[in-house]
Amino acid sequence: MSIVDRNSRLAALVDELSEVALYLWQRGWAERNGGNISANITDMLDGDYTPLSTFPLPRPFPAIAGCAFLVTGTGKRMRDIARQPMNNAVVLRLHPSGNAYDLVADYPIPPTSELPAHLAIHEQASLRHSPAKVVCHTHPTELVALTHHRRFLQPGALGRLLWSMIPETRIIVPRGVGIVPYELPGSLALANATVKALEYHDVVLWEKHGCLATGDSLAETFDAIDTLAKSAAIYLAALSAGQEPEGLSDQQLDDLAAAFHLPTSPA
């Protein structure tokens, strides 16, 4: 019997992984093996598990030593994760030293190439006692398209623009989006820059690459990215109708913040 079959909370999370993986594929945000997901499941696991294999980490992660994670596998397709989640995702546990990990279920599949970014974000969440347990990275077409324009890479520019397209975006993504300048996929440099940007935001855009969200649940991270992608699509649709769209005014955005008790940090 697998770890998942013995643990109803983990089984529910794996069902949610399968559901969200399908959405990412259906949205057209997950070409081939694009995107990756992880969740801190330390409080769902008990007892000892026999390691299937052991891998070193590119740097130690002492703050999450001993913690366990559900992580999508490297090279795995979201559409396959949707159909057969535990053939395409793994459970791993960091060593007490924090500088290596064991794969403990179900198969010895190496985890996502973006593991350094995922672990760095989980480490930061743990250090801050944040309830955010989930990290979701995907490649939403319209959002990535906007990161190809230099003017949108200025601090706050794209966040402000996306907020101004529909009131929902101001409400559902209240801390706006951070911009992470282009870095090599899978690198520690990308991981470090992402952690820095997440100090001020729950969602970041990786220049010319994708989007990453962190939150308490996978549904919540999907909803945040979906809402931002809706704003980006509205912006591009309005622009293709012939003119730069007007957007909600500063006053209208401030009114939303006041009415819904939203943080007023920069977009």
Contacts of 60 (CB under 8 A, 6+ apart): 97, 98, 99
Which pair of tokens denotes residue 108? 């010895």
Among 18, 33, 169, 221, binds ligand 2HA (CB under 6 A): 33
Among 2, 113, 130, 192, binds ligand 2HA (CB under 6 A): 113
Among 112, 164, 214, 227, binds ligand 2HA (CB under 6 A): 112
- Residue 113 beta carbon to Zn ion: minimum distance, rounded to whole angstroms: 8
What is the Cα–Cα distance from 15 to 49, expressed in whole angstroms? 22
**Residue 112 binds which entry of ligand 2HA, Zn ion, none, with Cβ cut-offs from 5 to 8 Å by kind?**
ligand 2HA
The reply on whether position 210 binds Zn ion by CB under 5 A is: yes
Residues touching ligand 2HA: how many (CB under 6 A)? Answer: 8
Q: Which residues pair with 55 in a beta bridge?
A: 101
The reply on whether position 36 binds ligand 2HA by CB under 6 A is: yes
Q: Taking Cα atoms as reference points, which of 180, 189, 137 lies closest to residue 155? A: 180
Choose between 210 and 247: whose C-beta lies nearer to Zn ion.
Answer: 210
Enter the DSSP assignment of 111.
Answer: B
Q: Taking Cα atoms as reference points, which of 85, 82, 142 lies closest to residue 109? A: 85
- Residue 136 beta carbon to Zn ion: minimum distance, rounded to whole angstroms: 11
Among 34, 51, 156, 245, binds ligand 2HA (CB under 6 A): 34
Contacts of 222 (CB under 8 A, 6+ apart): 20, 23, 24, 136, 213
The reply on whether position 99 binds ligand 2HA by CB under 6 A is: no
**Residue 202 binds which entry of Zn ion, ligand 2HA, none, with Cβ cut-offs from 5 to 8 Å by kind?**
none
A 10 A CB-CB count for 17 gives 25
Among 114, 123, 202, 223, binds ligand 2HA (CB under 6 A): 114
Choose between 117 and 248: whose C-beta lies nearer to ligand 2HA.
Answer: 117
Distance, first Cα to last Cα, the chain: 47
The reply on whether position 185 binds ligand 2HA by CB under 6 A is: yes
What is the Cα–Cα distance from 144 to 133, expressed in whole angstroms? 25
Binding site for ligand 2HA (CB under 6 A): 33-36, 112-114, 185
